[in-house]
Amino acid sequence: MGGAINYAAEVYTMYCTFFGLREKPFNVTPDPRFLFLSQSHQEALGHLLYGIEERKGFIAITGEVGTGKTLLCRTLLDRLGPQVRTALILNSFMSEIELLRSINGDFGIATDGTTRKALIDTLNAFLLDEFRDGRNAVLIVDEAQNLAPTVLEQIRMLSNLETERGKLLQIVLVGQPELRQKLARPELRQLNQRIALRYHLRPFDRRETSDYITHRLLVAGSHGSVKFTARALTAIFRCSQGIPRKINLLCDRALLSAYVQGTLRIDHRIVHQANAELGQPAPGRFASLGSIGLRRGFLIAQGVIFVLALTAGGVWLGYQRPNSLALARFVLGTMTEPPSPQPTPPAHADTAIEPVPSTQPLTAPQSEGILFQTASPEAAQEQATLTDVQDLASTEPVALLAASLPDAAPSGLEGEVLLRALLWEYHRTQPQRTEGVKTALSSVASSFGLEMIAVRTELARLKQFRVACLVETYPPSVPAPSLSIWRGATPEHVALMDANGEVQRYSHEEFARMWFGRVYLFHHDGMALRQILVRGQQGAEVRTLQQRLRELGYFAAEPSGIFDAETAEAVRRFQRDHALQVDGAAGPVTKIMLAHLVGNSRHEAAQP
């Protein structure tokens, strides 16, 4: 037995050497270094951090087997600072008194009580001391779907430990979807009603699956020697259904097969072979279509449906495409009546909201000469206006839409006018849409030739932005999420702008009550942005990265254009400070966040 284990370890050591890796990239153990923050994981982590900081009491996180719940718990423990005391319960098969002893033991307090009352009294005294010292306490229960109803009821009783200013203990229940079913039982309705925040982790989509594989290879030390083909990545996504644990098992076996075959290139055939060796069914089989003729008929039917869908899509796009001339007039200030945006809360005498209308109207840039002949002055003006916007839309800065644009109000951020146009178009088409804010906003951004990413950040980081972004708020008098352009903050207030150019000012307390950390960043979808910069690369892009890191205080050396160990460490520190996935590689999200903090026009002007 020992010989077999040693042989397997030796094989894996050789496979790491063959691929140029420091360690196995696809272990199934929950290592926070390998955490990949997909959109779903980022939102789940945001829910957890917000609920704990605001002392919300109960938080429930659910997800299918293998979606990364335990890794998320360990990452949460790493993210919580020294002012938060934590207890992590991994064994959910226990009685009420065993649970209380485990909680006290994890908090480092006495566990020798023989009754539930004695153990709870000890815990309550500890929590009160922590609260008086300005610290928070968090209990995380993993695999909570296995808890007996009586144990869940005991956990509910712990939430009664509170003061007038908040809950003494924040409780995070993490489990499989069965946890939701268990909480829905009538006998647990009191507990179910106390859960303030809930989130369900989703599997990766096709693109996230590809990014996840790249991320784990980079963390394991890959410099690009391992090549997964596009068809291989699609096969992995289909076989794994986007579940991280299945992806790890499949990729690990595929790398082992590639090592045995002596190739650095993993194609779809190797993936399907690895999937079969793991005993998993092949995806997409025509099990019910017993003949080749039926399969061909099925494929032909698919083709007909696809052609019809393309035709219908073309018609739909014809109706949904924004009016380019109207949009151009708005961007350059010649439109006098943009549609009304979604409602914002009215200013009351007892609030700190102060509407400030723009004092400087948008004006079109002056032409320096006749560029073309037209049939009439009106047509010439329309064509010139449209040309200006087309030129604006075709610019490709390193990361974002943040070209230097005319502004409607003083002290605006880069790219503010273009975001006003985007927000105006979002409001114009909103009555026709049924999808959520993120999906609708992404669709509008696409019509501008932009891509959008949603991130969560802190107010202290948001204050440093030099490029405009949209913030999602939940004003108390508005039933739906509200979108506004971030304009900045002073010690007294936060300033947001709507599509009409009107500025609303909120006190910091008012803003904190309606903003939960979500912002939307926009960028041009260029190949330079998509390229992931890793250690060993050289060139102008690396120099730009180093200059931006240096301006923010993360990189001390003179920019050399060589991605060395010092650059990788600077990237890691930046990613850690801004709640990004920490891998030391500069991918699209890292570049976008850097550009928002440094700015584009100022940085580009400084380029040699």
For 285-295, write each residue's pLDDT tens digit.
Answer: 433 333 344 44
Q: Assign 435 a pLDDT band (cuts: 50, 70, 90).
A: low
Cβ atoms of 393 and 590 within 8 Å: the answer is no
The reply to whether 148 and 55 lie within a common domain is yes
Say what the pLDDT of residue 268 is: 94
- Whether residue 236 lies inside any domain: the answer is yes
Domain boundary among 201, 217, 247: 201
What is the rounded distance in angstroms from the CA atom of residue 608 to the CA atom of residue 605? Answer: 8
Say what the pLDDT of residue 372 is: 25
Say what the pLDDT of residue 412 is: 61
What is the rounded distance in angstroms from the CA atom of residue 528 to the CA atom of residue 115? Answer: 64
The reply to whether 166 and 22 lie within a common domain is no
- Whether residue 240 lies inside any domain: the answer is yes
Statement: residue 264 has pLDDT above 50:
yes
- Whether residue 112 lies inside any domain: the answer is yes
- Whether residue 494 lies inside any domain: the answer is yes
- Ramachandran angles phi, psi of 16, nearest 5°: -65, -40
3-state secondary structure of 429: helix
- Whether residue 418 lies inside any domain: the answer is yes
Say which residue, 6 or 481, is predicted with more confidence.
Answer: 481
Average pLDDT over residues 171-189: 93
Q: Assign 34 a pLDDT band (cuts: 50, 70, 90).
A: confident
What is the rounded distance in angstroms from the CA atom of residue 179 to the CA atom of residue 173? Answer: 9
Statement: residue 537 has pLDDT above 90:
no
The reply to whether 234 and 217 lie within a common domain is yes
What percent of the chain has a predicted confidence (pLDDT) above 70? 73
Contacts 24+ apart (CB under 8 A), 153-157: 153/188, 153/191, 154/96, 154/99, 154/100, 154/116, 155/99, 155/191, 156/190, 156/191, 156/194, 157/120
324-328, 514-518, 562-566: segment of lowest average pLDDT: 324-328
The reply to whether 25 and 44 lie within a common domain is no
The reply to whether 239 and 254 lie within a common domain is yes
Cβ atoms of 386 and 324 within 8 Å: the answer is yes
Q: Which residue has the tokens 């604006």?
A: 392
How many domains does the chain divide into?
3
For 36-59, write each residue's pLDDT tens digit.
Answer: 878 888 888 888 888 888 888 899
Average pLDDT over residues 82-92: 88
Say what the pLDDT of residue 30 is: 79
- Whether residue 355 lies inside any domain: the answer is yes
Say what the pLDDT of residue 466 is: 84
- Whether residue 149 lies inside any domain: the answer is yes
DSSP lists the bridge partners of residue 482 as 473
- Find the radius of gyration of the CA atoms of the chain: 28
Average pLDDT over residues 85-94: 89
Could you say which DSSP state residue 449 is in? T
The reply to whether 334 and 463 lie within a common domain is yes
The reply to whether 159 and 125 lie within a common domain is yes
What is the maximum span of the chain, computed from C-alpha positions, in angstroms?
95
Q: Assign 70 a pLDDT band (cuts: 50, 70, 90).
A: confident
The reply to whether 14 and 146 lie within a common domain is no
Domain boundary among 479, 498, 524: 524
Highest mean pLDDT among 72-86, 171-185, 398-412: 171-185
3-state secondary structure of 23: coil
For 473-519, write each residue's pLDDT tens digit.
Answer: 988 777 678 899 998 888 889 999 988 888 999 998 889 888 988 89
Statement: residue 331 has pLDDT above 50:
no
Q: Taking the complete model, does pTM exceed 0.75, yes or no?
A: no
The reply to whether 262 and 127 lie within a common domain is no
Q: Assign 297 a pLDDT band (cuts: 50, 70, 90).
A: low
Statement: residue 74 has pLDDT above 70:
yes
Cβ atoms of 566 and 580 within 8 Å: the answer is no
Statement: residue 139 has pLDDT above 90:
yes
11-15, 253-257, 440-444: segment of lowest average pLDDT: 11-15
Q: Assign 402 a pLDDT band (cuts: 50, 70, 90).
A: very low
Token duo for residue 265:
């290139």
- Whether residue 539 lies inside any domain: the answer is no
Q: Assign 229 a pLDDT band (cuts: 50, 70, 90).
A: very high
Say what the pLDDT of residue 304 is: 52
Cβ atoms of 471 and 519 within 8 Å: the answer is yes
Say what the pLDDT of residue 528 is: 60
Say what the pLDDT of residue 496 is: 93
Say which residue, 445 or 369, is predicted with more confidence.
Answer: 445
- Ramachandran angles phi, psi of 498, nearest 5°: -100, -175
Cβ atoms of 572 and 449 within 8 Å: the answer is no
In this structure, which amino acid lies at residue 145? Q
Q: Assign 77 a pLDDT band (cuts: 50, 70, 90).
A: confident
The 3 state secondary structure assigned to 187-249 is HHHHHHHHEEEEEEECCCCHHHHHHHHHHHHHHCCCCCCCEECHHHHHHHHHHHCCCHHHHHH
Residue 265: domain span: 2-30+206-277
Domain boundary among 524, 542, 560: 524
With b for 16 or more beta-carbon neighbours within 10 A and e for fewer, the 95-131 pattern comes to: ebbebbbbbbebbebeeebeeeeebbebbeebbeebb
The reply to whether 174 and 219 lie within a common domain is no
What percent of the chain has a predicted confidence (pLDDT) above 90? 30
Say what the pLDDT of residue 336 is: 36
What is the rounded distance in angstroms from the CA atom of residue 175 to the CA atom of residue 64? Answer: 8
What is the rounded distance in angstroms from the CA atom of residue 542 to the CA atom of residue 219? Answer: 19
Highest mean pLDDT among 214-223, 486-495, 598-607: 486-495
What is the rounded distance in angstroms from the CA atom of residue 44 to the CA atom of residue 262? Answer: 40
3-state secondary structure of 107: helix
Q: What is the CATH number of the domain that holds 22?
A: 1.10.8.60
> What's the number of CA atoms in the CB half-sphere (13 Å) around residue 186?
0
Tell me the pairing of strands 482-489 and 493-497: antiparallel
Say what the pLDDT of residue 141 is: 94
Average pLDDT over residues 186-195: 91
Closest CA to 515 of 527, 500, 504, 530: 504
For 334-347, write each residue's pLDDT tens digit.
Answer: 333 444 444 444 43
Say what the pLDDT of residue 527 is: 54
The reply to whether 73 and 186 lie within a common domain is yes
- Ramachandran angles phi, psi of 9, nearest 5°: -65, -40
Q: Assign 397 a pLDDT band (cuts: 50, 70, 90).
A: very low
Token duo for residue 293:
């003729």
Q: Assign 547 a pLDDT band (cuts: 50, 70, 90).
A: very high
Mean pLDDT of the chain: 76
